[in-house]
Amino acid sequence: QVQLVESGGGLVQTGGSLRLSCAASGRTFSSVAMGWFRQAPGKEREFVATISWNGGITYYGDSVKGRFTISRDNSKNTLYLQMNNLKPEDTAVYYCAASISFTSTMTNMYNYWGQGTQVTVAS
């Protein structure tokens, strides 16, 4: 089992920045791949970014590439998402997720999910 708790969401103006955190407990954090997804009202859950167990591999969705950075600190059992140059279309609930297999863009490859944190970008 892996328990995940996101934090760091909030209200920000267009062009602003936020850093999301995801604290993990349970199964050894350093052995799992991690991902960030988001879901806006009325839309399907969307892939944002993923990172391998040691941070050596990262991959981003096209809509956030160049603006968001995923990272992890295995010594602190924490996953991060640095979000810069935020746009109103980034408004969503952001979820972190853990995969016991490998990095993926697909929600069904992730075994554990957090409860989400709201990010709202005002225009």
Per-residue pLDDT tens over the stretch 15-43: 999 999 999 998 788 889 999 999 999 99
Tokens of 102: 């490998």
Query: Is the separation of the CB atoms in 117 and 9 below 8 Å?
Result: yes
What was the pLDDT predicted at 102?
A: 86
What was the pLDDT predicted at 35?
A: 98
What was the pLDDT predicted at 26?
A: 80
pLDDT band, very low/low/confident/very high, at 95 (cuts 50, 70, 90): very high
DSSP label at residue 100: S
Query: Is the separation of the CB atoms in 20 and 4 below 8 Å?
Result: no
What was the pLDDT predicted at 83?
A: 98
Q: Which residues of 61-92 are buried (b: 16+ CB within 10 A; e: fewer)?
A: beebeeebbbebeeeebbbbbebeebeeebbb
Q: Report pLDDT digits (tens) over 38-76.
A: 999 999 999 999 999 999 999 999 999 999 999 999 999
Q: Is the pLDDT of residue 101 over 90?
A: no
